[in-house]
Amino acid sequence: MNSSVSIKDLSLNFGAVSVLEHLDLEIRDGEFLVLLGSSGCGKSTLLNCIAGLLDISDGQIFIKGKNVTWEEPKDRGIGMVFQSYALYPQMTVEKNLSFGLKVAKVPQAEIDKRVARAAEILQIQALLKRKPSELSGGQRQRVAIGRALVRDVDVFLFDEPLSNLDAKLRSELRVEIKRLHQSLKNTMIYVTHDQIEALTLADRIAVMKSGVIQQLADPMTIYNFPENRFVAGFIGSPSMNFFSGEIVDREGHKFVRVNGVDFGLDAYPARSPIEAGRKVTLGVRPEHVKVDESLPGGEFHDAVVDIEEPMGADNLLWLKLAGQTMSVRIAGSRRYTPGTPVKLSFDMSMASVFDAATENRL
């Protein structure tokens, strides 16, 4: 596939503070890429660099094969949607949408056509004569998306567009952005700290920490096969259960021994054989553990129910196992009272084992 946006060896520093260091990223044509990370990880900074709003210190940026490293934002073929909507308060919705085109001296007939089309796609025809102050948050964000839409750009950049909205609107607009991407098939780069947005929207997710991309993969790979402990802990709610232990060898079979409890690694898809004696961290997601049900080839571990959190569809159990608290997700219909002893069975084929020192997947 063709590459739409290509970032080569990008570095950015403010004085002595290095924000992004030797970052490489290839974004495919028509791809929905999400930059995910907690605040201060450099994801918005990277987006601003792509937009041309920040001058980079070193490296190159290509958009559609054209080197735009030194280009002005308007010449990069990008549209951008901001967290605070950034609508011009003194202009009507229509003027907001057409401002960029007016600046570019597009003929009025063409402007009208494009504004009408964008308004239709986003269902904001009725709002065209209103001022931004007369719109709700969701409507404002729609207008902000429309402003990128009318300019007929190659790449859409979203900077936490849904963070200022309430939960219900957020999930509605999330679906709309996904629908927009499916119909337009533009390249979209989307910055967020919300893992649900990332998992639901993305073709690929780039998880960032301290200006470095930790893992770049499709959402399911990120979720099920995290590259390191940071990614494993960052994605998923409730968080993945982690157990510190050591690899032991029992009659040719490898186990992770945690406080005297052994977890067999026969089903674990290790990248290379893991030698005995190595200090590791075992990670298991709450839904990859069965309670009082056996898995093929599985072994049972004794645990005690500590707290039960019914969530409607699911029921979250907090259990004590090997002297540690862990969470398990079971069907909402199955209820346990605290103090009940249960038998757990781990799906080790979906588990993750990380080196205790490097925190990388083994």
Partner 1 sequence: MSDIAINKPVVAMSGPKGRKPKPLLSPRNIMIYGTLFVAAAYYLLPLYVMVVTSLKGMPEIRLGNIFSPPVEITFEPWVKAWATACTGLNCDGLSRGFWNSVRITIPSVIVSIAIASVNGYALANWRFKGSELFFSILVVGAFIPYQVMIYPIVIVLREMGIYGTLTGLILVHSIFGMPILTLLFRNYFASLPEELFKAARIDGAGFWAIYFRIMLPMSLPIFVVAMILQVTGIWNDFLFGVVFTRPEYYPMTVQLNNIVNSVQGVKEYNVNMAATILTGAVPLIVYFVSGRLFVRGIAAGAVKG
Helices marked H in 202-276:
219-224, 229-234
Q: Kind and range of the H or E element at 203?
A: none
Q: How many CA atoms lie within 13 A of 263 on its CB side?
A: 28
**Phi/psi at 196 (5° precision):** -65, -45
Is the CB of 43 or the CB of 147 nearer to partner 1? 147
Q: What single letter denotes the amino acid at residue 347?
A: D
**Residue 348: helix, strand or coil by DSSP?**
helix
What does the binding site for partner 1 look like in residue numbers (CB under 8 A)? Answer: 48, 51, 53, 72-74, 78-80, 82-90, 99-100, 103-104, 147, 151
Would you mind telling me the total number of residues written for the chain in this entry?
A: 362
Is the CB of 143 or the CB of 348 nearer to partner 1? 143
Tokens 């209103």 label which residue?
A: 130
CB 187 within 8 A of CB 27: yes
- Residues 339 and 323: their CA atoms lie apart, in Å, by 15
Report, in Å, the least distance between residue 192 CB and partner 1.
16
Q: Kind and range of the H or E element at 140?
A: helix 137-150
Report, in Å, the least distance between residue 61 CB and partner 1.
15
Report, in Å, the least distance between residue 117 CB and partner 1.
18
Is the CB of 28 or the CB of 131 nearer to partner 1? 131
Is the CB of 12 or the CB of 282 nearer to partner 1? 12
Is the CB of 142 or the CB of 329 nearer to partner 1? 142
Report, in Å, the least distance between residue 248 CB and partner 1.
55
Report, in Å, the least distance between residue 99 CB and partner 1.
5
CB 331 within 8 A of CB 352: no
Is the CB of 78 or the CB of 353 nearer to partner 1? 78
Buried b (16+ CB within 10 A) or exposed e, 165-183: beeebbeebbebbbebbee
The closest alpha carbon to 117, from 192, 180, 45, belongs to 180
Is the CB of 45 or the CB of 327 nearer to partner 1? 45
What letter would DSSP give residue 323? T
**How would you classify the pairing of strands 352-355 and 279-284?**
antiparallel
Report, in Å, the least distance between residue 46 CB and partner 1.
15
Report, in Å, the least distance between residue 12 CB and partner 1.
15
Ramachandran assignment for 30, one of left (phi > 0), alpha (psi -120 to 50 degrees), beta (any other): left
Is the CB of 150 or the CB of 282 nearer to partner 1? 150
Report, in Å, the least distance between residue 159 CB and partner 1.
8
